[in-house]
A and B are shown apart, each in its own frame.
Chain A
Amino acid sequence: MPLILPILIPFLTAALALLGWRSLRLQRWLGVVGAFALLAAGIGLLISVQNEGIRTAQIGNWPAPYGITLVADHFAALLVLLVGIVGSAIAVYSLADIDEPQQSFAYYPLLHVLLMGVTAAFLAGDIFNLYVWFEVLLIASFVLLALGGERPQIEGAIKYVTLNLISSFLFLTAVGILYGAVGTLNMADVARKLQTLDNPDIVTTLAVMFLVAFGIKAAIFPLYFWLPASYHTPPAAVSAVFAALLTKVGIYSLIRMFTLVFDHAEAPPTFPLILVLAGLTMLTGVLGAIVQDDFRRVLSFNAICGVGYMMLGLGMHTPLALTGSIFYMTHSAVVTAVLFLIAGNAHLVRGTFRLDRLGGLAREAPWLAVAFAIAGLSLAGIPPLSGFVAKLILVRAGLEAGEHLAVAIAIAAGLLTLYSIARVWDAAFWKEPPAHEVPIERIGGEHEPGPLLPREKFLLGAPVATLVVLVVIIGLAAGPIFSLADAAANELMNPAGYIEAVLGGAS
């Protein structure tokens, strides 16, 4: 299977949908079919990586390191598959969630440009090319965020784009300086050259710039401001795809750079630094989650807390810890997406995201309650669901590595996550709704809250049900997924394989 396919499919989908501007039907069909095609490509890619090992493609047949290289190892392939899964679920959900004017105004093309940016970032083997994909997903996400044009959306979008542009600026500057030092942009080539560098301190110094640039994208402490400022403003489908995928790109880039490129010097001081930031991210994220009074803001802060867990594995920097991070990324993409979709469903039923105004959903929407219970408990790391296995791997890795404080924080954050989920359960699902009429919160571009057609109920329910089933499967059938994550982590911990796959035996 050509490596370019997971980039090409959303690109062509977006382009064709733009050409079919006048036909809403065509755009809807393209949006959904394209997403499922991406899913199929993701499956194909993962299978081919499992069979053939790390795969590379030299675009335009220019040999690495001179042209642009695409690389798919287990890590990248797994994440591309996740994009396919989340993208398909969101594409279907959007059919009923996004209102028609919005759908006919480039919703699907923009969604697919976003997906394209994300998959391409995972496959990029060239650091400037990675920057380009960052820009692609940034512009697409910015427009999706601002669409609808309600005042809170614009406010969130401005903060989002400003802070992310700072990230881009730092990233670009760092890339420039890196190129100035080693004269190459191909990541494998950079890694190889840094190994023979006379004075590697410069690179470690440069590493912190990448840490900040990607840290903003990944939403680590104290750089995550854009996330809680914006995730609760757009339609549920948009916030779900953001929460599931956008931070993953930052985390992916951090893991990639810090295992491949910045892992050369003995005892680099960056890993302890990442560990500290991971602990603070978990703690401040979850503390934020327990005091929010908006369904989606609770989830946003929990998403930050999750970023802390994923960074924890990188900070501990052992094979098992990285396996934990990668497993957590898999779990997190699915569970975060479904939780935001559940919040969206609650909003469509009740017309509000505010916890004090919600209530009675356990009776009125019992299946939604079941879905929330499963997804929420998984997020909190309750066995036997996906989050449990993810956290178990990390806790075990931490105790093996003797990082007792980090483990204590991870465990405490798990408890507080459970508390935050129980608070939402209590307020939205169990308590009686307020007796008085609740004002409807309008989200620009989203279906008006109120009674739904059976067809709409299906389109909104099926993605939620599918993702919840996945959450359960990732937990119960954790063995094979662990093996995948383990294979990915081993490739990351031994970058020689990656370098050889890209550059060949030549040096």
Chain B
Amino acid sequence: MDLLVAVLAPLAVAPLMPLVRRFAGRHVGDVAAAIPLAIAVYFARYVGTLGDGQSVAFRRAWVPEIGLSLSLRLDGLSLLFVLLISGIGALVCVYAGGYLAGNRRLGSFFGSLLAFMTAMLGIVLAENLLTLYVFWEFTTLTSFLLISFEHERQAARAAAMQALLTTAAGGLCLLAGVILLGLIGGSFEITELIERGDAVRAHRLYPAAVILILLGAFTKSAQFPFHYWLPNAMAAPTPVSAYLHSATMVKAGVYLLARLSPLLGGTDLWTVTVTGVGAVTMVVGTVLAFTSYDMKGILAYLTINVLGTLTMLIGLGTELAAEAAMIYLLAHALYKGALFLVTGAVDHAAHSRDLRELSGLRHRMPLTALIAALAALSMAGVVPFFGFLAKESYLHAVVEAPRMWPLLTFAAVVASVLVVAGAGLVAVAPFFGTLSEKADRAHEAGFRLWFVPALLAVAGLAAGLLPQTLAAPLVEPAVAAIVGEPVPLELKLWHGVTLPLVLSVIALAAGVALYVSHERVRSVFDGTRVLGGWGPAAWYDKGVTLLDVVAHWQTGFLQSGFLRTYVTVILAMTAGLAGLMITHFGLTFVERETIGVRWHEGIAAGLIVAAAFVAVRSTSRMRAVVALTIVGFGVSWIFVLFGGPDLAMTQIVVETLTTLLFVFAFYRLPKFSILSDRATRFRDAVLASSVGIVMTLLILLATGVDQYEPTSEYYVRSSVTEAHGRNIVNVILVDFRALDTLGEITVLSAAAVGVFVMVRLVAPKGGRS
């Protein structure tokens, strides 16, 4: 129950935020921060208690018949994420209160942000896979709202739509994968599934489930080739970018992979795909960083790099890799969060994030420059920052990878070099050098804008200095949850001269060298921008365009607007389907005794057929109507011949009336002319004949059945005795089937009212009918 309250608390408060804004004014962010802070404090007490795979659980049935239940569970892995989400969430709230101060929609902004927190907490605490999916989609939606916060800007709306479509498509794949998994394993509860892991992995549908789930995780965590949405999502206000698109939401995919790796991992399919995609993303992210001049853009690409690294590590599946992933995750959240927020402060002060317009900012924003430097040093993996530990542990995991290690190591080192240079781009380039025009007009950031990133940056330093005290209690239970057994963890800066250390130093040195000549490097990498024309971002654009074209074409084709086409299709469908069925089953007419066709019956039938032809071929309306009347009278004659004088009388009356109505209506009609060409008329003739033939066949087939006594026999028997009436038709109408008559009376009344109303209400307005 506590878990549920914790998850839903931010959402429950969210709708009140506009109101809070009215009363709290400038402090609305601080008030909003109280909720995640309370959650962080609440969960902090579990630190150190979940080391041995212990957990806290909550469960409530929703639609138990289909496995849908709301079940939550807190273990070491969840705890690490919960603390990141709530802790950084609180900081971001405070920061955003300053960053967006004075914005008209600040209330709804915090509403969306808090709603997002609920979604994120739900994902990492979900025990039921469907529960997880519920919150997963909720992050997609809140992210959509937050990216397009400045929705007057077309670019923001387009970016939001792109992120929505990409991640929602992945989300739906995830849903399908999850349901498959649930059907394979007989449960949607993650712990139960893990117990049945061997059976799940051996199942024939396992590959399908894995691929679908991976598609969900990869789109969310911006893995190649779905990474394109993340840089565009930077259209969001910077606190949102820092929080959703760096520290938390994009890591949901990584979380999912970590959560499910005990269940799905260990197979070739899983290891090769996850490691491979992660490694490619890792390198692609760093390379693309050099195609951007926007500080946020660079940070976004570097985030893609980290997401790739984390994915790769989880794919490896070793204990070392799990350790490295969790350490790196924590380190990244601290330094990247700080760097994003610093960028926000710069943007706020200098009204630009463009590296071509910014240099020498340290003269105007010394404090911000210092914070940027602290965070960047951690990012570059310099001793004694926590980032150093992270880099060393992941290089260690890569070097000892059970397979492909030379390739992975090479990729990791290349990426590390580029990350170091990238750190220079965002933390050195804008702050050093001569004072640019834009930078000159800047001023030091307000309290909230430097204090919050400072906290994060200092935390990165502190965690590096005291890893065993500060970081290990968080990381250890998380690793235990991934590996499935308690893993003693010893975090320290100095391990002696090892291969990872050597690689780390090489990366650092090469990175610095690269940064120094980054202008030249850029020109090389600019080439990749040309490649962008064929890249995944272009696939997305082309995909959407193609979808639009196809949809336009098919809709115009189907919904042409011509009634005659609609009628044609419907009749063709009728004749086609019924014809198909008749041929499918074959024709089995029952031979029945016949008394032969008498001559006057033949005349009646011939008359009807001939008159029908005349009606169709006639070029005069009057002649056609007369011919139709002859058809009707012919039918009446047949009724008479087969002993139905009452039916015949009704038919004659109706025919006469219809003919009269037709004649009256002629006065209002335009001159008769034939508008269709020969081919169309031929087609229509074929269609009409087909419908007629199919109907005839159906009737012949049906009358062949002679097993049952029709209900009309009952009417004949009981009309007098039971209903006390001699005219059977009347008795049927007003007694046996009186309800039908009531319905028909209603139809006639409604029609009469309709005619009256149309005449009275419409005609005065100009008689458009």
> Residues of A with Cβ closer than 8 Å to B?
11, 14, 18, 59-60, 62, 65-68, 101-102, 105-106, 109-110, 113, 116-117, 120, 128-129, 132-133, 135-136, 139-140, 142-143, 146-151, 154, 158-159, 162-163, 166, 170, 173, 177-186, 193, 196-199, 201-202, 204-209, 211-212, 216, 222-223, 225-226, 228-229, 269, 273, 284, 287-288, 290-292, 301, 320, 362, 377, 382-384, 388-389, 392-393, 395-396, 399-400, 407-408, 411-412, 414-416, 418-419, 422, 426, 430-432, 444, 478-479, 482-483, 486
Closest to A133 in B: B743
Given the known inter-chain contacts A166-B570, A193-B708, A269-B584, please indicate yes or no for A146 contacting B758, CB distance below 8 A. Answer: yes
Q: Is the CB of A150 within 8 A of B768?
A: yes
Q: Is the CB of A59 within 8 A of B176?
A: no
CA distance A106 to B754 in the complex (A): 8
| B-chain residues with CB within 8 Å of residue A414 when the two chains form the complex | 172
Given the known inter-chain contacts A68-B739, A140-B750, A389-B63, please indicate yes or no for A132 contacting B744, CB distance below 8 A. Answer: yes
Given the known inter-chain contacts A170-B574, A225-B569, A287-B554, please indicate yes or no for A208 contacting B581, CB distance below 8 A. Answer: yes
Partner of B157, one of A196, A415, A430, A444: A430
Q: Is the CB of B180 within 8 A of A399?
A: yes
| B-chain residues with CB within 8 Å of residue A183 when the two chains form the complex | 708-712
| A-chain residues with CB within 8 Å of residue B765 when the two chains form the complex | 149
Q: Is the CB of B165 within 8 A of A59?
A: no
CA distance A128 to B737 in the complex (A): 10
| A-chain residues with CB within 8 Å of residue B67 when the two chains form the complex | 396
| A-chain residues with CB within 8 Å of residue B756 when the two chains form the complex | 106
A-B contact pairs, 7 of them (CB 8 A): A117-B746, A129-B743, A132-B747, A163-B570, A196-B707, A205-B701, A225-B569
| A-chain residues with CB within 8 Å of residue B130 when the two chains form the complex | 392
| B-chain residues with CB within 8 Å of residue A284 when the two chains form the complex | 554-555, 558
Among B375-383, B386-394, B443-451, B545-553, the one that faces the other chain is B545-553
Shortest CB distance A361–B (Å): 12
CA distance A473 to B555 in the complex (A): 34
Closest to A292 in B: B555
Q: Is the CB of A407 within 8 A of B176?
A: yes
Q: Is the CB of B573 within 8 A of A223?
A: yes
| A-chain residues with CB within 8 Å of residue B737 when the two chains form the complex | 67-68, 128-129
Shortest CB distance B346–A (Å): 28
CA distance A68 to B741 in the complex (A): 11
| B-chain residues with CB within 8 Å of residue A136 when the two chains form the complex | 743, 746-747, 750
| A-chain residues with CB within 8 Å of residue B742 when the two chains form the complex | 11
Interface bracket on B: 35 or more
CA distance A289 to B695 in the complex (A): 36
Given the known inter-chain contacts A66-B714, A395-B179, please indicate yes or no for A291 contacting B548, CB distance below 8 A. Answer: yes
**Beta-carbon contacts of B734-769 to A below 8 Å, as 1s and 0s?**
011111101110110111011011101110010011
What's the count of A-B pairs with C-beta under 8 Å? 293
> Residues of B with Cβ closer than 8 Å to A?
61-68, 130, 133-134, 137-138, 141, 144, 148, 151-152, 154, 157, 161, 164-165, 168-169, 172-173, 175-176, 179-180, 183, 547-548, 550-552, 554-555, 558-559, 561, 563, 566-567, 569-571, 573-574, 577-578, 580-582, 584-586, 588, 695, 698-699, 701-705, 707-712, 714-715, 718, 735-740, 742-744, 746-747, 749-751, 753-754, 756-758, 760-762, 765, 768-769
The secondary structure that dominates the A interface is helix
Q: Is the CB of B581 within 8 A of A113?
A: no
Q: Is the CB of B566 within 8 A of A226?
A: yes
CA distance A3 to B28 in the complex (A): 58
Q: Is the CB of B552 within 8 A of A106?
A: no
CA distance A419 to B586 in the complex (A): 46
| A-chain residues with CB within 8 Å of residue B707 when the two chains form the complex | 182, 193, 196-198
In the complex, given contacts A139-B751, A431-B152, what are 4 additional A-B residue pairs having Cβ atoms less than 8 angstroms apart?
A62-B735, A288-B554, A392-B175, A430-B148
* Residue of B173, B552, B555, B769 most packed against chain A (CB within 10 A): B555
CA distance A142 to B548 in the complex (A): 33
| A-chain residues with CB within 8 Å of residue B736 when the two chains form the complex | 60, 62, 66-68
Shortest CB distance A383–B (Å): 4
Q: Is the CB of B563 within 8 A of A182?
A: no
Q: Is the CB of A106 within 8 A of B753?
A: yes
Q: Is the CB of B761 within 8 A of A101?
A: yes
| A-chain residues with CB within 8 Å of residue B702 when the two chains form the complex | 177-178, 180-181, 202, 206
Closest to A144 in B: B754
Q: Is the CB of B743 within 8 A of A212?
A: no
Closest to B765 in A: A149
| A-chain residues with CB within 8 Å of residue B751 when the two chains form the complex | 139, 143
Closest to B737 in A: A68
Q: Is the CB of A393 within 8 A of B66?
A: yes
| B-chain residues with CB within 8 Å of residue A393 when the two chains form the complex | 63, 66
CA distance A18 to B746 in the complex (A): 12
Q: Is the CB of B179 within 8 A of A396?
A: yes
| A-chain residues with CB within 8 Å of residue B573 when the two chains form the complex | 212, 222-223
Q: Is the CB of B566 within 8 A of A482?
A: no
| B-chain residues with CB within 8 Å of residue A102 when the two chains form the complex | 761
Q: Is the CB of A384 within 8 A of B740?
A: no
Closest to A167 in B: B570
Q: Is the CB of A411 within 8 A of B175?
A: yes
| A-chain residues with CB within 8 Å of residue B735 when the two chains form the complex | 60, 62
Closest to B165 in A: A419
Q: Is the CB of A180 within 8 A of B703?
A: yes
Q: Is the CB of A382 within 8 A of B758?
A: no
Q: Is the CB of B555 within 8 A of A287?
A: yes
| B-chain residues with CB within 8 Å of residue A101 when the two chains form the complex | 761
Q: Nearest 3 CB-CB pairs, A to B?
A: A183-B710, A149-B762, A143-B754
Closest to A113 in B: B750
CA distance A194 to B182 in the complex (A): 40
Closest to B741 in A: A132
Q: Is the CB of A212 within 8 A of B740?
A: no
CA distance A225 to B564 in the complex (A): 11
CA distance A201 to B590 in the complex (A): 13
Shortest CB distance A68–B (Å): 5
CA distance A320 to B715 in the complex (A): 42
Q: Is the CB of A162 within 8 A of B567?
A: yes
Closest to B744 in A: A132
* Residue of B68, B173, B760 most packed against chain A (CB within 10 A): B68
CA distance A184 to B714 in the complex (A): 11
CA distance A396 to B184 in the complex (A): 12
Partner of A478, one of B63, B141, B695: B63
| B-chain residues with CB within 8 Å of residue A140 when the two chains form the complex | 750
Given the known inter-chain contacts A116-B746, A149-B758, please indicate yes or no for A288 contacting B559, CB distance below 8 A. Answer: yes
Closest to A192 in B: B708
Q: Is the CB of A110 within 8 A of B758?
A: no
Q: Is the CB of A228 within 8 A of B168?
A: no
Closest to B766 in A: A149
Q: Is the CB of B559 within 8 A of A290?
A: no
Shortest CB distance B588–A (Å): 6
Partner of A229, one of B137, B561, B711: B561
Shortest CB distance A111–B (Å): 11
CA distance A181 to B699 in the complex (A): 9
Partner of A162, one of B164, B563, B580, B753: B563
| A-chain residues with CB within 8 Å of residue B582 when the two chains form the complex | 205
Q: Is the CB of A147 within 8 A of B758?
A: yes
CA distance A225 to B566 in the complex (A): 6
Partner of A208, one of B173, B566, B577, B746: B577
Given the known inter-chain contacts A129-B743, A149-B762, A382-B137, please indicate yes or no for A362 contacting B581, CB distance below 8 A. Answer: no
Q: Is the CB of B183 within 8 A of A399?
A: yes
CA distance A229 to B754 in the complex (A): 21
CA distance A149 to B749 in the complex (A): 20
Given the known inter-chain contacts A159-B566, A204-B585, please indicate yes or no for A149 contacting B710, CB distance below 8 A. Answer: no
CA distance A444 to B766 in the complex (A): 13
| B-chain residues with CB within 8 Å of residue A206 when the two chains form the complex | 698, 702
CA distance A14 to B746 in the complex (A): 10
Shortest CB distance B742–A (Å): 8
Partner of A400, one of B183, B552, B746: B183
Given the known inter-chain contacts A166-B567, A182-B705, please indicate yes or no for A205 contacting B585, CB distance below 8 A. Answer: yes
